[in-house]
Amino acid sequence: MYKKVVSGIMLTILFICLLSVALNIQPVKSEPRTIIVPDDYPTIQEAINHANPGDIIYVKAGTYHENILVHKAVSLIGEDNNNTIIDGRNLGKTVHITANNVTLMNFKIINSKKEYTCAGIVLDGVSFCNISLNILTNNFDGLYAEHSTCNVIENNVFLANDWNGIHLKYCSNSNIINSNIILNCKNGINIEVDSNNNSLLYNHIANSEWDGIDLIGSIKNVIYGNTIKHCFTGIYIGLETDNMNIIYHNNFICNTYQVTCYSAPNFWDDGYPSGGNYWSDYTGVDLFSGPYQNETGSDGIGDTPYVIDECNVDHYPLMNPYTVTPPAPLIINATVDVNPKALNLRSRGKWITAYIELLEGYNIQDINASTVMLNDTVSAEPKPIAVGDHDGDGILDLMVKFDRASVISYILANINKTKLFDERFMAVTLTITGYLNDGILFQGTTTIRVLMPISFFVLRHWRYWRTLQIFPI
């Protein structure tokens, strides 16, 4: 009896263990791949539906009459933002993003439905998305976001959208709106309804029918380095509670009203000697300097404050427009390896393969593969692309391929061919560059040995050909 009980217990334990193992089986995670539209799928939506998170969807130039739902963390990259067009046909949201970690770049996005919450791009409760290098025109809003945080909206053009160029609403916090051009919209940028701690940097806003920037029910936003010109109102601050916004080093040029605010106290300068904003209607002079503007000599800052109202004063107005100089881009070093390591100029291979590793703390899957270039001249092929560990060092690398003939053409155009024929080989430095999805530039270098096999016939006549600079390649 005892043995039967023990046997029963052991079988039960074994069954539980097997069940636990079965329940913990994880599917093999597929490596990111590149899907090409229309080569692989005829529409962008079909490509999204068949993609896995992390995949790159590269869209060739053309007009795509679609209303797109981006419900996966993919990178959508157009070939050319003038000629890769997503046309919403006035039917709704042209591009509706509901997933985190989406990249959308290099498209022209047009014709959303002319209705509230419809826009060229809608960010719907998402975070860590990158919207860059797009042209948005003839939409209701160019971009509309609600309940969306920590997204980057940069280097886009918003042109002649019916309402707002960019519209953040309903607790859309901590977003970066950087280096966009916003022209001929009713409002340039509208930040409202508890959307706080956003950064508006280096944007150019002009010809807004109403306001360059609206702040309505929003606090603690940073507005820095923007040019706002020829709008009805430069900045409109709509509520008495819209306070603690930091606004300096902006250019307010020829707006009918530079600022309209309702006594909400905000900060309009960065102290001395950094200064405040440039106001085209400022009538003060610059004869003195110092924190109290009572020291001899001018300093580029007006001697008297620019008074908006009793609660809002630029104590150090700039005498000349602020020269917008965005900070130098961060460049991270990458480790690069190439195959083959020796390039025979007479061989018939198809590819030069490069393996890219990033520094610790950076994710190799964040590389925007469409931006990878060799010596700023030869672009990486759209595919094949793969993430792996080709050298077995425990660090993931991105594999990209370059067209071998293009690389050889570049090398021959930039080396001393006489030396190559004399010595039969030489080392050439290759530099691989590209961008992460957040705009950070990476760069890595390696060397490749270039070999020039010479036949007996060429060798016999080389001395004569050398004087004529004839290279029988």
pLDDT-derived band of residue 463, with 50, 70 and 90 as boundaries? low
Lowest mean pLDDT among 223-227, 263-267, 342-346, 353-357: 342-346
Model confidence at 24: pLDDT above 70? no
437 compared with 74, residue with greater pLDDT? 74
**pLDDT tens-digit profile of 397-434?**
999 999 988 988 888 888 776 676 566 678 888 999 99
- Token pair of 132 as six digits: 């860059």
What's the rounded mean pLDDT across residues 217-222? 96
Position 371 pLDDT exceeds 80:
yes
Long-range contacts of 117-120 (CB under 8 A, 24+ apart): 117/93, 117/144, 117/146, 118/92, 118/93, 118/144, 119/93, 119/94, 119/143, 119/144, 119/167, 120/88, 120/94, 120/95, 120/161
Percentage of the chain exceeding pLDDT 90 = 65
Pair 167, 141: CB distance under 8 Å: yes
* 107-124: average pLDDT: 96
User: How confident is the model over 263-279, as a mean pLDDT?
Assistant: 95
CA 90 to chain centre: 27
pLDDT at 17: 39
Residue 238: other Cβ atoms inside 10 A: 17
Range among 63-72, 254-263, 415-424 with highest mean pLDDT value: 63-72
Task: Report CA Rg, the chain.
Answer: 29
Of residues 16 and 135, the one with the higher pLDDT is: 135
295-296 vs 288-289, strand pairing mode = antiparallel
Answer yes or no: is pLDDT of 16 > 60: no
- Write out pLDDT tens, residues 318-353: 999 998 666 666 788 899 999 988 887 767 788 899
* Average pLDDT score, the chain: 87
pLDDT at position 300, please? 97
Mean pLDDT of 199-204: 96
Confidence tier at 447 by pLDDT (50, 70, 90): confident
The H or E element spanning position 223 is strand 222-224
Judged against a pLDDT cut of 80, whether residue 468 lies above it is answered with no
Q: Are 96 and 122 in contact (CB under 8 A)?
A: yes
Would you state the pLDDT for residue 31?
66
- Smallest Cα–Cα separation from 404: which of 350, 337, 327, 465? 350
Using a pLDDT cut of 70, give the percent of the chain over it: 86
